[in-house]
Amino acid sequence: MRKITTYKNKKILVLGLAKSGVSAAKLLHDLGALVTVNDGKPFEENPEAQDLLTLGIKVICGSHPIELLDEDFFMMVKNPGIPYSHPLVKKAQEKEIPIITEIELAYQISEAPMIAITGTNGKTTTTTMIEHILNAGMIDNKAHLAGNIGYPASTVAKEAKKDDCLVMEVSSFQLMGVEQFHPKIAVLTNLYEAHLDYHGSREAYVAAKWRIQQNMTSDDFLILNWNQKEIRELAKHTKATVIPFSTQEAVEGAYLQEGVLYYKDSAILPANELGVAGIHNVENALASIAAAALWGVDYQVIADTLRSFAGVKHRTQYVGQINGVSFYNDSKATNILATQTALNGFDPHKLILLCGGLDRGNDFESLIPSLEGVKAVVLFGQTKYKLEDAAKKAGVSTIRFVENAEEAVPLAYELSQKEDTILLSPANASWDQYPNFEVRGDRYIAAVDQLKKEKRSPQ
């Protein structure tokens, strides 16, 4: 890693722990900063804070006292999930204390170049596809997954070597806290309405996503979804070299034509040979093809890797079968569009949907067309009654309620017949009942595994 001296003997406040906060605090401590960590969880229930204290890092837990900012802090490193409306964040802004997120630190210390991926949907699959392809084509170096995909970027950046690559999923929350962040290649998978409770407006959300390219130059590559008019308009306002991808037309990048995926004029592989199904995964694959080709990976390696790519956990993940009934885990569908995309991949007349979660003020009118024909829905969480309204309007005749995703499994199985599919695709964030979508998905999988034992299914 680059041994920067920017933060030596500087007072820095790390607000919020979780993985990225712990990583940032340890990195800054290693760089000689005078670190204070503030986290809402009480100290006695906070093993991360206890660990940091043993390193000599100042720890304040259990509340967020405004008087903390009476100290002369050089900078705040904010957990991405903490909104800018938080009193401590607002006070820092009033005092003109710079506020960054942990991916900015990662960029500043990384010797390895970065490929950064953002977008409303598809970013986790695209990030993982790119990492798989690059590692298949690398011999003496390595592509490292990092960022919003579950690997703290600053920890990964410390370990990556100069000739390696960081393949980093970045969220709009993270991008709001960048200053110098500068990927060599960036991908914007798509833009839809999301996280309005955090950003306040669609315009603010789009602006946050667009920060991914703010420091890029003509020597860098910005891979954009050319299917979307909004993104084509944004493309007029970047210094980066734009590489489009499209499932609708031939472009000077990656595209689908007559069932075959191309990069420029070269056929890469037929769409029906992709290891994951669905038109959304064709888009993900096109973006990945463009990134890998720009990195210099052999086209045959790209094709072979995409054929063997089996998908990402919690993203339309096949969990197994019980007496002819198939189970899929799409817990990462934390918004309406993601669930619409998942529903489009199944026969609705043989589908039982498990759905619900955190109420962020959305209605579900736009989900109604995708619910039409669905055999049954099992609902839970804060939004279950809103989803009930949408299901009724869609003509779904069987609607049931349960407490949570795991309780939905045996009930859904009771409603099913052989050759049916049971799909967890919540269309909502998980935070009303679970720490994150991964826990929600894991508990769903565990419930399916328990049901397998009870039914003594051979699979």
Sequence ranges of the binding site for ATP: 119-125
Residue with tokens 């950003």: 199
3-state DSSP helix/strand/coil % of the chain, to nearest 5:
40, 20, 40
Gap between the Cα atoms of 92 and 68, Å rounded = 10
- Could you say which DSSP state residue 381 is in? S
**Dihedrals phi, psi of 449, to nearest 5 degrees:** -60, -40
**Residues flagged as binding site:** 119-125
- Answer yes or no: are the C-beta atoms of 240 and 221 closer than 8 Å: yes
Contact yes or no for 224/246 (Cβ under 8 A): no
Q: Do 15 and 61 contact (CB within 8 A), yes or no?
A: no
- Copy the structure tokens of residue 96: 């003109």
Q: Which two tokens stand for residue 229?
A: 């008019």
| CA atoms of 209 and 123, how far apart (whole Å) | 12
Give yes or no for a contact between 411 and 400, defined as CB atoms under 8 angstroms apart: yes
Cβ-contact 242, 224 below 8 angstroms: yes
3-state secondary structure of 355: strand
The answer to whether residues 167 and 143 touch, using CB atoms and an 8 Å cutoff, is: yes
Structure tokens at 354: 């498990």
147 vs 403: CA distance, rounded Å? 32
